[in-house]
Every structure is written in structure tokens, then in C-alpha cells.
Structure 1
Amino acid sequence: MTRKIEKVAVIGAGVMGAAIAAHVANAGHTCLLLDIVPKDANGGDAGNDSASRSRLATQAVQRMLKDRPAPFMHPSFAKRVIPGNLEDDLDKLADVDWICEAIIENPKIKQDLYGRLDKVRKAGSIVSSNTSTIPLHRLTEGLPDGFRRDFAITHFFNPPRYMRLLEVVGGADTDPAAIAALSDFGDRALGKEVVPAKDTPGFIANRIGIYWSYLAMQAAFDLGLSVEEADAICGRPMGIPKTGIFGLGDLTGLDLAPHVNESMLALLPDSDPFVQMYRADGPLVATVSKMIEEGYTGRKGKGGFYRARGKEVRDLATGEYRPKQRPDLDSIKAARKGLQALVEHDDRGGRYAWEVLAGTLSYAASLVPEIADDIVAVDRAMRTGYAWKWGPFELIDRLGSGWFAEKLEADGRAVPAILKAADGRPFYKEEGETAYALTPGGDYAAIPVADDAWMLADLKRGRAPIASNKGASLWDVGDGVACLELHTKMNAIDADIMAMVVQASKLHSKGYKALIIGHDGDNFSVGANVGLGLFQANIAMWPMLEQGISEGQRAYKALKYAPFPVVAAPAGMALGGGCEICLHADAIQAHAESYMGLVEVGVGLLPAWGGCKELLTRATLNKRRPGGPMPPIAEVFEAIAQAKVATSAAEARDMHILRKGDGITMNRRRLLADAKAKALSLVEGYQPPEPAVLNLPGPSARAALNMAVEGFVTQGKATAYDAVVAAEVARVLSGGDTDITEEVTEDKLLALEREGEMRLFRNEATLARISHMLETGKPLRN
């Protein structure tokens, strides 16, 4: 039987349950959110009205509208979450396809709830638990066969909107069709990296992550490392987020650790390395317990191992707080040469790195196939659940599997069976266009790539690009479609990228019928390489600087009027010049987590590669906007002058960056395939767009915009130089010295952008802003 999920309910309006409901709403689905009836809602002054009885769920939705980072991708999505309670609204579950339970981690309370759900749910509906550690078989003990057939575990990671991992666990009695439906909905609708896990304590990511967290913290105490030293080593050198290990504890909440550890200790056998390693009377447990008692539970409390916005750190020896210090260990410098250099360095930092890696990686290796059938699932779980850059087996490959096994043996540690089966070979290898992963039996199995879910790396493997330079490459992605890949640092736009944009716009001469622009990086593009502009301005290379602006405008214009459809596929940050590329495409297929905007004013500049022109044109030609020319001008002026950035692709629609017909993809792995499909859908009968001609008010509009900015300066909400930059933006958007009766062409707007940009580059205050941004990564408020 094929199962399909349309209607969803979440039981439990706590932090996790409410956020799961919000993400279901992000996916475009209505979600019923139920919680218990508060005790004081059963009578007395509070009354028995429905709103009061459902207020736990209602308040959860209201809280999420204020939370940052925001659980909702757009405030309007909150309307899709329907609050209710478990007494008055239980019968509404009869119309629901998937009921996700997210209540307290107590098997008895969960089973009591399941009994109630089973009486009202419709036949064939799926029930799942968001438990983080409790095995499925314990949750379904004694429950009816029909319920066990429809039951699974769907373990989301917090926060559900942003963390990509979804572990799906089935039991011995679970209908495979239920698992398939949950996996498909999690993948396509919720955008998750769905990883099948086995019914074991902690599943995959938490089984390894809890072990790693405890080991890394305890080893810091044992080897005498400071918090800063441990985080510097157990962080970026290992491909772990810069929070490191103690910073991560602060982020997730130190009060969570004792509960998770206790749960795992109760579930795991005495022979498990975590149980054997754990020291209830050790310094780590004592320190964390004391911190919790004093209210130092991490970022949500008075602080944790760090406080005062990270400026103070807890001394592990004394328990007192002191100013944060920059770690000065030779092993940290050695890490630049690779992981082997780090762990082989004979100082406490090197010994610490080896202790953490040896323990964690050998533990992970020993758990396959117990927790997952293959190493790919384990690596994906740790990358997407704990934000590791490399999974455990990828880390072993970076060390060298043979080297790692020999060092474990020399250190008197057990060598896991799968590491012995590797026999010095890598866990991953590539042959031609296929990638392979080592199986527990020691053979290699091809890693499958779906036709509708792939990364660019999957199509590049074993192939040569159509064309390439230092800044960008062109790749054949099949069916007559090419892909323009940016690959500078942070994908900042430079002359090499511009040259490849021009080349891409001419690919029809080589038989290509469509172009997509995208890549596998975390961020589409952070904007122009302003460092080059700063250098040219500092030595007064004005002709060359203006030439760079002109060439960018011509390149983007060539893209817009190319003889075939162009689809941009942004993900992550698409700022400044990166946003401008998207604005010049025929269509955008954006990842849901795309953060787009024209932010040039932050460095004292304006969007001069057609950004002002394109955003103004979109807003002006929007038929739903009455009121003459000023409302769209004012709207675009506000967006550019305030450097507004959409915090999701849904918000980018409000800013006219995404238009009607542009698409949003929830799953990052499906983005390029969706962009390719959109490009192909535009091929038949394609004609380049007609150049837009606008009627703009000129000086009168400019005066109104400048007056508004001057008011902000007077109120202290903007600086004097903000007004200077804003005045140049106003000049472009108002059409320069024109009149409402005159027509303003695209070329006229491009000329105004170019002139304004050059005036700003000649201003020392702009150069100061650029220098400050390059040195600190933060805007200068001059």
C-alpha cells in the first residue's frame, strides 16, 4: 500500500514540537499543534473557553514569531499552525495522515498517549516519536499490532528549520510503506537529509555525538587544556564548527547534558565504551553540575563555559571566570599541515587531538553495521546533525586508514573490524564518474545518485569542464543544459567570473539550450571582490576601476538577453553582486534557506552591476502596486539604503527578488536538479525579455527620498555618510535629471549606477568603510 502525507499533527508544543510544526508550515502544509489543557483552564477565573484551554499551543506559536533565529520562514506561515488541546481536539486527528509525538522523554507517558491516539486516528495514518534516545521497541511494547505497523521514529535535530538531519527508524513490525512515506515527505517537503537508522540507543548521530561530547570535554580536564585551547583544536582543524566543544555545550544548553548522558547510560550495555569511559565522580560532571546549580546553563542562562558575549571564559582549574585568551599552542599551528601533523605534534594540544580523534573515530567505526548498514549513512548523519564538515569515516580517510589503524594498535587500543577490513585502503574512492564506499565486509559499493537529487560534484566526477578559469567553470549537466559554477573564495565576484559569465551567455553556439547558475558551496556569493576596487582607488586607477564596473554591467546584460533561458539557483548568502546575478536571470529556483539582498551601502557603495535597475524595474512593473511611480521607488530605496537581506527565499518574494513563477526548493540536494528542470521547461518558444522602459519622476522624487534620510540622521538612526551614499542611490532610482513624461531606458539607469559608484569610490569615507569591512568583517558606521 502506498501512503501519502498531506495533513500533519504534532503533539507537544514545547520548544521542539512547536518548531517541528513551524517547519511543516514552512513546507506549505497545515499542521495541528496539540498540547495538554493547563490546570488553571479547567475552572475559576481563567474560565473554560477554548482559547484558554489551548493556550499552550497558542503561546508557542506567538513565541516562535519572536524567536531568533526564526522557526518560520515567513511570518504569514504561522497561520498554517492550528493550536488545540488534547481533550477538546483529539477527534481532529481522524483526518490526519501523520501524527508526530514530541512530548517528554518518558516511555510510560508516551505509551499512555499512544493508547489515546490509537482510538481516534484514521486507519493507515502514521504515528511517530521525535525521541532522541529511546529505542522504538521500548515505546511499542504491549501496543496493538496495527499501531506497531504504523509506528516509527522521526528524530529531528534542533532547530528543525535549520538542521538538515532527519533520522527515520522503523521497527521489526513497521510497514515499509510507512517508512517510505515519512522519508519522502521529510526529503521533498521538509528538505531534510533523511538517514535510515537502526533501532539502537541514540540512533546514529547522538550515539556518536554524545560519546564525542563527553570525551572531548573530559579529555580537556585530564590533559590540562583551557576552554579556548580545546575549542581551537576540537573545532576547525577537525572540520567541526568554530564553537568547538565547550562552545557547543553552551549553545545546546548544559542542563541538557546530564539527562542525555543518564538516558544513554541506562540504555547501553556495560561493555559499551561510553559506559566504561563515563566517570560520575569526575571533574567534568562535578563542574557541569555546579554550573547548572548556579544558573550557568549556557547561552540561555547567565552564561556557560563562556559568558559576557564570549569575552570571558571559565577557568577549568579554578572555576572562576577570566578574560578570554588567544590559544598559543604549536600544535594548533601544525594543524595547518593536516590532521596527521596535528595529532603527531608532541604537546598537550597534539595529545588532546589524538585522544579525541582516536576515541571518537574508532567508536564510530565499531558501530557499523550495528547502528547503520553503511558508512555513508553515518557520515551524512554527523555532517547534517552535528554540522561536521567531514563524517567519521571521511576523517579517517584524511588521516589515512592504514596509518590510523597502526597508531591505534601502537597505542594499545582496539582496532575495529571495519578498519581491519579496509586493510589500509580508503573508505571512499572514485573511479571514473562513480564514487564508491567501503562496506563492512571489505568490498566497495557504488554510492547511488538520483536523477532528481544530486550535487554538482556528482556530475563533475571524472569529467572535464566545458571551460574554466580561476574564478568559475562551465559544466555540462546533461540534456543540453550547462551549469555556471563560481569557485572563488566565498564566491566573491571578480573579473574571472565576469569573463565566464560572458562565455556562458554564448553557449548556444555550442549547442546548449539552457543555463543554470549554481554550485555546491554553502553560500551562492557574498558579492563583489571589493578589495580589488579599494586597491585601484588607493592608487587612483580610475579608468581601470570604471572599466571593471562597465564590464560587470555588460556581462550581466549579456546574461539577461542571452538567446536561451537562464535560471539562477542560489543557496545561503546571495548578496550584492551575487544577488545581481540572480536578478538578471530569466528565473530563480532558490533554496528555501537563501539570504538575498543588495548590501553595497554597507561598504559605502551602491548596486552598480544593474542591481538598482533590475529591482526598480521589477517593483515598478508589478501590476498589483497602485499609487503612481513613488511607492515602488520608495520601497526599493528602503531595501537598498538599509541593506535589507531576506532571511529566507519566501521573504525574498516580498522584496521582488523572487517573482511569480520563481521556485523554492526545500532540499539542498534537489536544488540544481530543480533548477535544471525549470530551465528546460522554459526552452520551447523561448524569447529573450524585451528591454524595459520606465517613466520616473527625477529631482522631485530624489528630494523626497533625501528628506526622509535626513530625518533619520537627525534622529541618530543614520550617519552623515549614510545620507551621502543614500543620495547616490536616490539619484539612480529617481532616474537622474529626468521628468515623469520622459522615458528612462535600462542603459540610462546603468549609466547613473556607474556615475554614482565612481563618485562614491572617490570618497575617502567609502574607502574607510571598505577597509574596515575587509579587516574586521563588520560594517563601519562613519
Structure 2
Amino acid sequence: MVGPNPTNGIKKVCVIGSGTMGAGIAAQVANAGVPVLLLDIVPKEGSDRDAIAKGAVAKMLKTDPAPFMSKRAAKLVETGNIDDHLDKAGECDWIVEAIVERLDIKQSLYEKLEKVKKPGTAVSSNTSTIPLGHLVEGRSDQFKRDFLITHFFNPPRYMRLLEIVAGPETDAGLVAKVEAFADRAMGKRVIHTHDTPGFIANRLGTYWLAIAVNAAMDLGVTVEEADQIGGRPMGVPKTGIFGLIDLVGVDLMPLLSKSLGDTLPKGDPYFDTIRPMPLVEKMIAEGYTGRKGKGGFYKLEKGKDGSRTKLALDLASGEYRAEQKPAPLPGKAERDLAALVTAPGKVGEYAWAVLGPVLSYAAKLVGEAADDIVAIDDAMKLGYNWKFGPFELIDRLGPGKLAERLAAEGKPVPALLKAVGNKPFYRIENGKRQYLTEDGSYRDVKRAEGVLLLEDIKLGAEPLAKTGSASLWDVGDGVAAIEFTAKMNALDEEVIKLINLAIPIVKAQFKALVIYNEGSNFSAGANLGLAMFAVNIAAWSEIEKLIAGGQAAFKALKYAPFPVVAAPAGLALGGGCEICLNSDAIQAHAETYIGLVETGVGLVPGWGGNGEMLDRAAKPKMMPKGPMPALGKVFQTVSTATVAKSAAEAKEQMFLRESDGITMNRDRLLADAKAKALSLVDGYAPPEPPVFRLAGASGRTGLSMAVRDFQKKGIATAYDGVVADRLAEVLTGGEADLIDTVTEDQLLKIERAKFLESMKDSRTQARIEHMLTTGKPLRN
């Protein structure tokens, strides 16, 4: 758990409504280390008047992906009911209402809240459909000053967007207080929106999905083709159009359509998308509501032999059929948006039928739903996981060409597009990213105070050093940063080369070093594809050189004469975990998924991870003395390829120390890592090399017995046992005896030998090939 920022003044939160959204908001507050009161109605049956809120917490503890970052966070949630415990809301600094979307019920609750809340306590609604003015109608001036809309996206732990709407009477200082808490403690990027139906993301996102579905039906495009054309080439997540609808719920479509249809002004282009949808109505009636139901536009059919076949819905007949892989997109259409919308046949026709209206609608929303194009782009990137915002997509097409094609087809051209002409919506000027305003001038894209992004630094700088897979950057104040740049930020000899180049540069010119990047994942580990290439040509010396080189480079970082702070986010697996373990400190994003996963592909950790984990396990005060307790803990973690599902969980599993930091907001990770590195500078001295007293042959016997037991129970496969025995040999010190000491270098030598032995085993090679081909482990 993470302590809240002490300056935001919010020490306790009340969430009213324990449905999926309300419970998720409460969980994220608890994840921030802040007590939260979760209230719901009294159930109609049963003696436990708090049963609904209690049930919501119990359900979240079983949900996967988990709303809680650790089970400890759940202990910060106090449950109750509105009838008996609403007065406790008076103890809270922020009250979030997340109840049913009915104005009369919300207003009734606010009337009760007004009698118990403290003046100056923020009250916010999670509504996305009811105007703020309607919500506070009849309330006191004080209540109106304290009221705002905070529209979270589901699931609240994982979706970073928070849309905030303030009313004309809302206190600006109170809005800033809530925003600071949501940003720093809850990890949200806050977008201020106008009080219009659907705000930004849902208004444009719902329009986009409706346009895409209608166009597929009109043009005879299959769901697979629609997801191919309207997916990756447009920067849409790999789910594509119909896959995304299945993910969020097919039954949500008509609800959003009705909501916007009831509240948008007449003449809005959204009304052009509303039409009878008998197919969708039939799907919902029969329980085909997407992944949460029996299936949706896609479904998995189980065979009698346990196999699974993916089926897709035929939009014309309404019947399921086997999924059909579409033909490859023609020419440059996969990577060039202009080529996509001009491609021959239904590819270009469908792409334009989606992009033309959607981008035009986005241009219309500037000034109406948001102040500027940056807010709209950020909302779609954060709320719908688009890789590019709509105005970034327009720049890829060419604003002039978009307006020209719309006009040629007799379609309305938004005033903003007419005014832009051929100027881009974004440009780089003097090392700054700028955006085009409605008046035709450019302004710098502003970040929230305290946010530092490498993408901004790179606009006006050149790397201090660079190789094929990594770069070294000056991030200011005497701190340098190593950035991984390969696919999935995999680690290879080019990364090792950069580390060796970086150390003398940092030693001569800087105070400290951070290891950081802004990819989706910190590092998925060593480049297994290159390793298999070396295996196929029997280049064993090259593999041994890579392992020895990685050990030496990571060790050089560990004992460098300056502090090194790793700042992981997303996956930090295998070698990505080991480089963190070898750093002086870790400043992790809360959503860091870290672990030593090598055994899953038949290997043992080869870049110092074994020793680092043994060293960590031997130090906690609560760990019983002697080599076996620490050994057992590390063996269990590493042999099962355990991955922490959050940074908080990583502390429980010793991948992070208790002294390591956790940053909730991904945008603030680099600034926090830099600050942590600078805090270590004064009086810094490299760590003393550890000396291990390991369990030797007797310890290996105990571990082997445990593994054999797992095999008998069918938990571990035959080859799992072989790999575990190799790992046990490393962790127990090889030929060492219980009375012997083992140095770090000796342990690295054993680790290197066992890694190479594993690599030469055809069963390991089969596991690696399977992982590279399918992305899934082979259980041989």
C-alpha cells in the first residue's frame, strides 16, 4: 500500500454505492493507503444490514484481475449501510456517490448527506449522463460549492482516466484538492471536461463504436475484418471493434445509446447512428452479452476432448461460425493511415466509413465538450486505450486532405477543420510539443506540476550514448537515465553494451542513474529469440558470453560509485526483474508485475537474481535464523515462476524491499525515481558484497523431496522437477557444505553453469520455442 500525499488533505473517503464501479473506487482509495467507508442500501432479506457492502468487498477479494493491489488494502475498507451509518460520512474529507443513474434517487441521497457532511467536504457523483445543474437543484449554496462530478472508468484500478466536471458555483480550491488526491494517491490523469452529455471519452467512444458496427453491417464486413481494419492500423487495442464491445459488454451499447439519445441536443450527429438493432437485442435476450455472458460477437466453444474453438458471429445470419482469419491488408495499409483509407475495395471503404465521421465528430467537440484538442486526445487514449488520439490520427491523414474528402462527399466540414487548413494539430517547436488552438495559434502542451516524462525530454535532446537496444539520457539535476528500446524492452548484448558505456559517463558527469522507460512494459526479460538462434547454430560460447556479460554488467551497476535506482512499470520479468534486484533502490509504479520467471521456460535465473533474492530473504527480522527458512522462501518463489501482481504484492514477495518506493501515477514515476536517486547521493557508498552460508547437499535433499511430492500430486511435471533440481543446486551453493561460505562470484559461477546446462537441454529448447510461438508455457 502507498501512503497518500500529505499535502492533499484527504485522510478518509466515503463511497456510497458498492456496485462494480463504487466498490472499485473504494478499492483504489484503499490501494493508496487511505481508509474508506463503503456504504450501500439495507438488503430486503437477511439479518445482516451491511451484507451488500460486505459482499462487494468479499467479491473483490476473489476477482481476477484484482481490484485490490494486496489483501492488506482490503482491511482499510469499512463497510456499512446508508440507513444506519450515513452519519459516518461526516468524518470523511471526500464523499463519492456511485449509485443508480436516477436523478430522483441521487437527489434524495444528497438531501440526507447535506445534514451530516462537514462544510467544505467534497461531494462528487460518478454519473456520466446527468447534468451537474440537475443534480444540485434545490440544494444549499454550501452544497453547490462542495459539489462536482468525478467520472471514473471501469475498472478503476487499471483505467487511468478521471473526467472532472465543476459547476459554476463549485469551489475551485476544493476541485484542486480532489484532483491532487486523485492524481497522486489514486494514480489518475485528470481531464477537465464541460458539463455536456457523455463528457468526452464516452461521447466520442460510443459514437465510434456505433459508427463502426453500423458500417460493418452496411458494407458486409465480417467481425474479423472489422477488427483487423479498425484495430491496430488505427491504433486501437488488439481487441479491435467487436472484441472491445465483447469486453465491455454488449448490453452496455443500447444503454449508452439511450442515455446519449435522451440528453444530446437535437441535430447532433450522434442521432444518425441510432437505428433498430434486432441482432443486438436478440443477443442480449439470449444471454450473449460478451465475455461476462455466454459469448458475444465472439465466443469459445468447448469440445468433448476439452479443446476450445473460437467462433465468430455472422452479422448477416446471426449464427456463429468458425473464426476466419482475414487476408493481409494491402500494401502499406497496415502502417500508413492514408494508405488504409484509400485502399481498394472494402478495406479502404470500411476504414473511411469509420474514420471520416469519427474524426469529424471529434473536431466538433472542441469547445463544446472540452477546451482543447489535448483533452480530447488524452481522454480517448486513457479511457479507450487508443494509441493515438483523434487529432493525432488527423495529423497522420493530413488535416487538409480530411477536410477536402469530407467536402467532396458533401459531408459537413467542422469549423475547426476549415480553420486549420493544412497546418498540423501538433508540432515540435524549440524542443517543445505544441498544439493548435481554436484561434489558430500554437501553445505548449502543459504537464501537471511535478510530472517529468522522457518523451518530452527527448524532443529537445540527443542521447548521451546509444546502442541498438538502449539509450542513455540526461534527465536533469545531475541524473542520467538508461532507457531500453527493443521490442518488449527485451534485454540483449546491446543493452549490456549500453550499461558498460553508461557507467563511466555517469561516473564522470552525473550524480546518479535511474533505469526507466515509458513503454507499456519495463522489460519482458532476455531476448529468447536471439538465444534460440544461437542454440540452432550451436553457438554455445555466445550464449555463455551473454550470460557472463549480463552478470558482469549488472554487478558493475550494483557496485558503481553512484546510486542506481530502477523504476519499473508493467512487466519486469526475468532479466528485467534482475536488473531491478541489482539496483540500490527501486521506485516502482503501482502496476508493476515483477518476477523471476525463467523456470517457466526451463531455465534458472542467470543474471544474479538468485543471490539477490537469497540476500533479501536472509535479512527480514521476522524470518527464522539459519539458511533453510530463507532458502525455502526463495526456492518456492523462483521455482514456481511467481509474479507479483502489483508493487504492493512485490514487497510481500521480497522483489521490492520495504524501503523501496511505490508511485501510483505512471506520469510521476520518473520524477519520483529521480528524487529517490538524488536522496541517496550524500554519503553514498556501494553495498558490501554478500557472503552466503547456504544449505549444501542436505538442503538440496529437502527441496528435492518437496518437488517430488508436487510431482506425485500432478502439480509439477517431470521436467519441472529437473529444472527445480538445477535451481536447488544454485540456491544451496553447488558442492558447498552447510559449514562453508559462498561468495557472490562463486554463486554467479554456479548460476552460469546451470543456466548453460539448461539451455543445452532439448526440453528447455522446446519450452522456449513454444513460448515464442504461442506466448504460453509448455508443460512438458
TM over 0.5: yes
State the 1:334 CA deviation: 4.2
Report the residue type matching 1:746 in the other structure: E
* 1:620-631 → structure 2 map (5 Å cutoff): 620-631=618-629
Residue 474 of structure 2 contacts residue 481 of structure 2 at CA under 8 Å; is this kept in 1?
yes
Aligned to 1:220: 216
Question: 5+ unaligned residues in a row in structure 2: which ranges?
Answer: 1-6, 302-308
Aligned to 1:256: 252
Aligned to 2:324: 325
Q: Within the alignment, does 1:289 sit opposite 2:281 as a pair?
A: yes
Q: Within the alignment, does 1:15 sit opposite 2:45 as a pair?
A: no
Aligned to 2:11: 6
Picking from 760, 763, 766, the partner of 2:764 is: 766
Residue 214 of structure 2 contacts residue 273 of structure 2 at CA under 8 Å; is this kept in 1?
no
Aligned to 1:356: 354
CA distance in structure 1 between the partners assigned to 2:449 and 2:121 by the alignment = 30
State the 1:621 CA deviation: 2.3
Residue 8 of structure 2 contacts residue 181 of structure 2 at CA under 8 Å; is this kept in 1?
no
Aligned to 1:338: 336
Residue 201 of structure 1 contacts residue 264 of structure 1 at CA under 8 Å; is this kept in 2?
yes
Picking from 539, 543, 546, the partner of 2:544 is: 546
Specify whether residues 3 and 654 from structure 1 end up closer, same or farther in structure 2 by C-alpha distance, changes over 3 A only: closer
Secondary structure of the corresponding residue to residue 333 of structure 2: helix
Aligned to 1:43: none
CA distance in structure 1 between the partners assigned to 2:761 and 2:328 by the alignment = 43
Picking from 479, 483, 489, the partner of 1:491 is: 489
CA distance in structure 2 between the partners assigned to 1:651 and 1:554 by the alignment = 29
CA distance in structure 2 between the partners assigned to 1:651 and 1:277 by the alignment = 45
Q: Which sits farther off after the overlay, 18-27 or 738-747?
A: 738-747
CA distance in structure 2 between the partners assigned to 1:437 and 1:627 by the alignment = 60
CA distance in structure 2 between the partners assigned to 1:287 and 1:451 by the alignment = 49
Cα shift readout 1:282-307 (whole Å, capped 9, x = no counterpart)? xxx21111111111111111111111
* 1:548-627 → structure 2 map (5 Å cutoff): 548-627=546-625
CA distance in structure 1 between the partners assigned to 2:733 and 2:8 by the alignment = 56
Q: Which sits farther off after the overlay, 255-264 or 377-386?
A: 255-264
Report the residue type matching 1:772 in the other structure: H
* Alignment RMSD: 1.3
Q: Which sits farther off after the overlay, 335-344 or 491-500?
A: 335-344
Q: Within the alignment, does 1:465 sit opposite 2:457 as a pair?
A: no
Q: Which sits farther off after the overlay, 535-544 or 181-190?
A: 535-544
Aligned to 1:235: 231
State the 1:776 CA deviation: 1.5
Specify whether residues 60 and 451 from structure 1 end up closer, same or farther in structure 2 by C-alpha distance, changes over 3 A only: closer
CA distance in structure 2 between the partners assigned to 1:716 and 1:163 by the alignment = 38
CA distance in structure 2 between the partners assigned to 1:212 and 1:454 by the alignment = 32
Q: Within the alignment, does 1:188 sit opposite 2:188 as a pair?
A: no
TM score, norm. by length of structure 2: 0.97
State the 1:450 CA deviation: 4.9
Residue 219 of structure 2 contacts residue 350 of structure 2 at CA under 8 Å; is this kept in 1?
yes
Specify whether residues 422 and 589 from structure 1 end up closer, same or farther in structure 2 by C-alpha distance, changes over 3 A only: same
Q: Within the alignment, does 1:421 sit opposite 2:419 as a pair?
A: yes
Residue 506 of structure 1 contacts residue 562 of structure 1 at CA under 8 Å; is this kept in 2?
no
Aligned to 1:203: 199
CA distance in structure 1 between the partners assigned to 2:752 and 2:432 by the alignment = 47
* 1:74-93 → structure 2 map (5 Å cutoff): 74-93=70-89
Secondary structure of the corresponding residue to residue 185 of structure 1: helix
TM score, norm. by length of structure 1: 0.97
CA distance in structure 2 between the partners assigned to 1:548 and 1:454 by the alignment = 34
State the 1:406 CA deviation: 1.2
Aligned to 2:304: none
Secondary structure of the corresponding residue to residue 683 of structure 1: coil
Cα shift readout 1:83-114 (whole Å, capped 9, x = no counterpart)? 00011101111111100000001111111111
Report the residue type matching 1:408 in the other structure: L
Residue 526 of structure 1 contacts residue 576 of structure 1 at CA under 8 Å; is this kept in 2?
yes
CA distance in structure 2 between the partners assigned to 1:294 and 1:544 by the alignment = 58
State the 1:425 CA deviation: 0.8
CA distance in structure 1 between the partners assigned to 2:765 and 2:679 by the alignment = 45
CA distance in structure 2 between the partners assigned to 1:557 and 1:329 by the alignment = 46
How many equivalent pairs are there?
A: 767
Report the residue type matching 2:49 in the other structure: R
CA distance in structure 2 between the partners assigned to 1:533 and 1:714 by the alignment = 33
Q: Within the alignment, does 1:28 sit opposite 2:33 as a pair?
A: yes
Q: Within the alignment, does 1:298 sit opposite 2:304 as a pair?
A: no
Picking from 687, 690, 703, the partner of 1:692 is: 690
Q: Within the alignment, does 1:244 sit opposite 2:243 as a pair?
A: no
Residue 270 of structure 1 contacts residue 276 of structure 1 at CA under 8 Å; is this kept in 2?
no
Secondary structure of the corresponding residue to residue 471 of structure 2: strand
Q: Which sits farther off after the overlay, 406-415 or 534-543?
A: 534-543
Cα shift readout 1:513-567 (whole Å, capped 9, x = no counterpart)? 1000001111000000122222222222222221111111000000000000000
Residue 10 of structure 1 contacts residue 20 of structure 1 at CA under 8 Å; is this kept in 2?
yes
Report the residue type matching 1:23 in the other structure: Q
Aligned to 1:99: 95
Aligned to 1:409: 407
State the 1:624 CA deviation: 2.2
Secondary structure of the corresponding residue to residue 336 of structure 1: coil
Report the residue type matching 2:364 in the other structure: S
Specify whether residues 334 and 500 from structure 1 end up closer, same or farther in structure 2 by C-alpha distance, changes over 3 A only: closer
Aligned to 1:138: 134
CA distance in structure 1 between the partners assigned to 2:617 and 2:57 by the alignment = 32
State the 1:449 CA deviation: 3.6
Report the residue type matching 2:300 in the other structure: A
Percent identity between matched residues is 57
State the 1:622 CA deviation: 2.3
Report the residue type matching 1:61 in the other structure: V
CA distance in structure 2 between the partners assigned to 1:128 and 1:462 by the alignment = 40
Picking from 727, 730, 748, the partner of 1:729 is: 727
State the 1:627 CA deviation: 4.2
Q: Within the alignment, does 1:312 sit opposite 2:308 as a pair?
A: no
State the 1:337 CA deviation: 4.0
Secondary structure of the corresponding residue to residue 462 of structure 2: coil
Secondary structure of the corresponding residue to residue 288 of structure 1: helix
State the 1:451 CA deviation: 5.8
Residue 329 of structure 1 contacts residue 349 of structure 1 at CA under 8 Å; is this kept in 2?
no
Q: Which sits farther off after the overlay, 258-267 or 711-720?
A: 711-720
Q: Which sits farther off after the overlay, 551-560 or 411-420?
A: 411-420
Aligned to 2:54: 58
State the 1:322 CA deviation: 0.8
